[in-house]
Chain A
Amino acid sequence: MIRPLLSLGFLALVAVVLALGLGSVTVPLPEIWQVMQGEGSALNRALLLELRLPRTLAAFATGGLLAVAGALMQVLLRNPLADPYVLGLSGGAAVGALLAMLAGMGTILISGSAFAGALLATLLVFGLAHGTGSWTPSRLLLTGVVVAAGWGAVITLMLAITPSYKLPGMLYWLMGDVSYARTPWPALIVLVLSIVLIMPLARNLNVLARGPMQAAALGVSVRPLEWTIYLLASLLTATAVTTAGSIGFVGLIVPHMLRLVLGNDQRIILPASALAGGTLLVLADTLARTVIAPEQLPVGVITALLGVPTFLYLLHRSR
C-alpha cells in the first residue's frame, strides 16, 4: 500500500527539482547548489528563491488541493463527472474577486474577497440543498449546478458593465495562473492538514463510495460524513482558487487516473491525489513557462495537453 505513494513522492521530488532547474534563464546545477547553501550571485538568488521556488511550491499545493478536492467530490456525489468546481465554488470566488477589483482593492484584499466568495457559495449550496424534506447527493449536485450557472451569469454581467480599463485585470484573474500566486504557504499548510484530517475517515469513505445504504448498514453515520467531505472539499477548492485562480482539469482527471492504476481505495487515492495533482501542475507550469520562452503559456493549456492523452491511454488499457 505504501509503495505507490513512495514512487509518487519520488516523482514529485523529481518534478520539483526539474522546475527549479529549468527556466528562461539557465542556472547550472552547481550554482543551484550554491544558492541552496545561502550563497550564489544576487541574480541567481532572486531567480531561484523569489521566482521559481515560490511558484513551484504554489503550483504543487494548488494541484494537490484540486486533485484531493476532486477525489472527495467524486466520492460524495458518486458521479464521475464531479470536479472541485461543479458546485459553483469557483464562480462564487470569481464574483468575490471581481467585486474587489471593481472596488479597486489591492491583491491581498482581492484574494480575501475570493476566499469569502467561495465560502459564501459553499454555504449557499449547503443551505439550499438542505431545504425542506430529505436531501441526497443528487439534490446537492442539482442545487450546486444551478447555483453555478447563476454565478456564471453574474460574472458575465459584471464583465459587461465594468469600465473597460478594469477588464484586463479581471480577465487575468478568471484565466487563472500559477505565476500570480504570491505565497505558497497557506495552500501548502491547508493541503497537509487536510490530508492528516481526512486519512482516519478514508475507510468510511470507501464504504460510502459503495452507496449510503450499505454505509449506514455498516454503522457509518452517513449524513455527518457527507457534510464533512463537502465542507472539507470546499475549503480545499477555495484555498486553491484563492492561490491561483480557477485552473481546470487537474481536479477532474487526476483522481480518475489514479483509480485506473491503483484501484478505488480512498486510503491510497487521497494522499496519492495530493502527490500526483501537485506533480502534474508543477510539470505543466514548468513547460508553460519554458516551451516557447520568453512567451508564457497559460498553465491550463499544458495540464490538458499532458493529461488528456495520459488519461485516454490508461482508460484504453483498463478495458
Chain B
Amino acid sequence: MSVHRQSIRVALGFLIVFVVQTLSAGEVQRCAIDDMGKELCLPAPAQRIITLSPGATELTFAAGAGAKVVAVVNYSDYPPEALKLPLVGSHTRVDMEALLALKPDLVVTWVTGNPPAQIELLGELGIPMFAIEPRTFEGVSSVIERLATLAGTEQAGLAEAERFRVGIAALSEQYRNAEPIPVFYQVWEQPLMTINNDHLIGKVLQLCGGVNVFGEMPRLVPRISSEVVLQADPHAILTGSVEGVSDGQLDSWKQYSELTAVKKKNLFFVPASPISRPTPRLLEATRIVCDYLDSAREH
C-alpha cells in the first residue's frame, strides 16, 4: 500500500518537474481546437495577432491579449483601444497584402463571416488561423479561454471567462422561476425578421423567463409577416438599437393598439452590439433584457 502510494508520489514529482522544466524552457506547445473543430498548435505564445471580425477583436481583448493585437478589421469599435489599431480591410474583403505585411503569428477568423476563398489562401500561405463563432453562453467563455491559451495570457483570460460564466449562471438562477412572458424580438424591420430559440439572442430571452413567440420556427433567423406577430400577441417587443436608444424602429407597431405589448407600453430597445455580438458584453445586455422583462411583468 505504502509502496504503491510512494510510487505515485514519485511519478507525480517527476511530472511536476517535467512540466515546470518545459514551461521554463518556453518550448511547450500551445494547442487549442477552434470552432470548426481544427486544432491549432503554436510553438510559443502568439505575439502578433490580427482579428478578422469586430467580435473576434472584442474576444481577443477579453482574453487579455489586446496588447498583442497588431491590426483589426473595420467596425472593430470595442474596446475603444481597438479603434486606434491599423485596419486590414473589412471582414467581407480582407486586404491580404496589408495582412501579410504585418507578419501575424495568429489570425483570428470568423467561421461564417469571412470569404472562404481568402481564408483558404491564408492557410496556403502558412499563416496560423483560429476560426471562432460562439453560439452559446458557454461558447463565449470557452473561446476566451482558448484565445488566452494561444496568446499565453491565461491569467487575465481565464478570469474574464469565469466572470462571464458566473454572471450568466447567477442571472439564470435568479430567473429560473420567473413568470413566463411571451416576447417578440425584432431583428430587422424591413423585411421583418426575428430569431428562434437556437439563436444566442433567443437563449438570452429564455434565460430571462421570456417565451420567444417564434422560438420553435425551424430557421435561425426567420422572415415573418406582421400578421403572425399580431396573432401571437407578445406582451413585450424588443429590438436592438445604437446605445439602446429609441430610434423609431418599433413605431410601426404602435398603430395596433390591440397588441398587449403596445397597450402596456412594453416596447424596448436593447444596445445593439452587446446583444448581437457573442462577447462578454452579452452579460450586460442580458441584464438589460431581464430588467425589461421584469418591468413588462409589472405593467
Point out residues on A near B: beta carbons under 8 Å.
23-25, 43, 46-47, 50-52, 107, 160, 163-166, 168-169, 172, 177, 179-180, 182, 289, 293-298
| A101 closest partner in B (C-beta) | B116
B125: which A residues are within 8 A, CB to CB? 46, 50
A294: which B residues are within 8 A, CB to CB? 86-89, 95, 98
Residue with the greatest number of chain B CB neighbours at <10 A, chosen from A25, A293, A294:
A294
CB of B94 within 8 A of CB of A107, answer no
Inter-chain pairs besides A51-B96, A169-B112, 6 sampled, C-beta below 8 Å? A24-B101, A25-B101, A172-B92, A180-B115, A182-B120, A294-B87
B103 CB to closest chain A CB (Å) equals 7
CB of B117 within 8 A of CB of A295, answer no
CB of B98 within 8 A of CB of A293, answer yes
| B88 closest partner in A (C-beta) | A294
B218 CB to closest chain A CB (Å) equals 9
B132 CB to closest chain A CB (Å) equals 13
Residue with the greatest number of chain A CB neighbours at <10 A, chosen from B89, B95, B112, B120:
B95
CB of B89 within 8 A of CB of A295, answer yes
Q: How far is the CA of A295 from the CA of B219 in the complex (A)?
A: 33
Q: Does B121 contact A (CB under 8 A)?
A: yes
Point out residues on B near A: beta carbons under 8 Å.
74, 86-90, 92-98, 100-101, 103, 111-113, 115-118, 120-121, 124-125, 219-221, 223
21 A/B residue pairs, CB under 8 Å, sorted by A: A43-B100, A43-B103, A46-B125, A47-B97, A47-B100, A51-B96, A51-B97, A51-B100, A160-B223, A163-B220, A165-B112, A169-B112, A169-B115, A177-B93, A177-B115, A179-B115, A180-B118, A289-B95, A295-B90, A296-B90, A296-B93
CB of B89 within 8 A of CB of A296, answer yes
A285 CB to closest chain B CB (Å) equals 12
CB of A23 within 8 A of CB of B115, answer no
CB of A24 within 8 A of CB of B97, answer yes
A307 CB to closest chain B CB (Å) equals 21
Known: A169-B112, A169-B115, A180-B118. A43 touches B74 (CB 8 A): no
A144 CB to closest chain B CB (Å) equals 29
Known: A51-B97, A296-B95. A172 touches B219 (CB 8 A): no
Q: How far is the CA of A172 from the CA of B112 in the complex (A)?
A: 11
CB of A25 within 8 A of CB of B219, answer no
Q: How far is the CA of A297 from the CA of B117 in the complex (A)?
A: 16
CB of B90 within 8 A of CB of A182, answer no
Q: How far is the CA of A289 from the CA of B96 in the complex (A)?
A: 10
CB of B117 within 8 A of CB of A179, answer yes
A168: which B residues are within 8 A, CB to CB? 92, 112-113, 115
Q: How far is the CA of A160 from the CA of B191 in the complex (A)?
A: 12
CB of B115 within 8 A of CB of A295, answer no
- A-B pairs, 5 with minimum CB distance: A296-B93, A294-B95, A180-B117, A24-B98, A24-B97
B117: which A residues are within 8 A, CB to CB? 107, 172, 179-180, 182
B235 CB to closest chain A CB (Å) equals 27
A64 CB to closest chain B CB (Å) equals 21
| A42 closest partner in B (C-beta) | B103
CB of A164 within 8 A of CB of B219, answer yes
| A108 closest partner in B (C-beta) | B120
A169: which B residues are within 8 A, CB to CB? 112, 115-116
Q: How far is the CA of A295 from the CA of B107 in the complex (A)?
A: 18
CB of A295 within 8 A of CB of B74, answer yes
CB of B98 within 8 A of CB of A25, answer yes
Q: How far is the CA of A168 from the CA of B221 in the complex (A)?
A: 14
B100: which A residues are within 8 A, CB to CB? 25, 43, 46-47, 51
Known: A295-B74, A295-B90, A296-B93. A163 touches B101 (CB 8 A): no
Q: How far is the CA of A36 from the CA of B106 in the complex (A)?
A: 29
Known: A294-B88, A296-B89. A179 touches B96 (CB 8 A): yes
B113: which A residues are within 8 A, CB to CB? 168
A175 CB to closest chain B CB (Å) equals 9
A43: which B residues are within 8 A, CB to CB? 100-101, 103
A172: contacting residue among B89, B95, B115, CB under 8 A: B115
Q: How far is the CA of A180 from the CA of B94 in the complex (A)?
A: 11
Q: How far is the CA of A208 from the CA of B51 in the complex (A)?
A: 57
Q: How far is the CA of A172 from the CA of B92 in the complex (A)?
A: 8
